[in-house]
Amino acid sequence: MEKEQHTHIVKYKTYVFVLIALLFMTFTSVAITSLNLGPYTVSAALLLAGCKSLLVLLIFMHLKFDKKFYAIMAASVFLLLGCVIFITFLDYLYR
């Protein structure tokens, strides 16, 4: 088979920086929760979780370096789940 892939090597340093960012966001979300921002607590926590998962997907899981197909499909899967949750809530929000 053709061997077009596996040329990109991610540096150790990159991973360390990503980990630091991830840990920072984890502690931030814990800190925000203790502040008691009311309804914004959940949105803040989920927003940070979203950023964290984006970092994991792009760097740890190499979506940034791989073929675009994987990134597009991964985004579609999250979009699909989002749509399903949205449509389900059309029932629960207006019942």
Residues that bind another protein (CB under 8 A): 1, 3-6, 9-12, 15-16, 18-19, 22-23, 26-27, 29-30, 33-34, 41-42, 45-46, 48-49, 52-53, 56-57, 59-62, 66-67, 69-70, 73-74, 77-78, 80-81, 83-85, 87-95
64 — phi, psi (to 5°)? Answer: -65, -30
> What is the chain's length?
95
% helix, strand, coil for the chain, step of 5:
75, 0, 25
Angle at 54 between CA 36 and CA 4, to 5 degrees: 170
Q: Whole-angstrom Cα distance, residue 41 to residue 44?
A: 5
Least distance from another protein to the Cβ atom of residue 87, Å: 6
Least distance from another protein to the Cβ atom of residue 83, Å: 6
Least distance from another protein to the Cβ atom of residue 17, Å: 10
Least distance from another protein to the Cβ atom of residue 58, Å: 11
Show the beta-strand stretches assigned E in the chain.
none
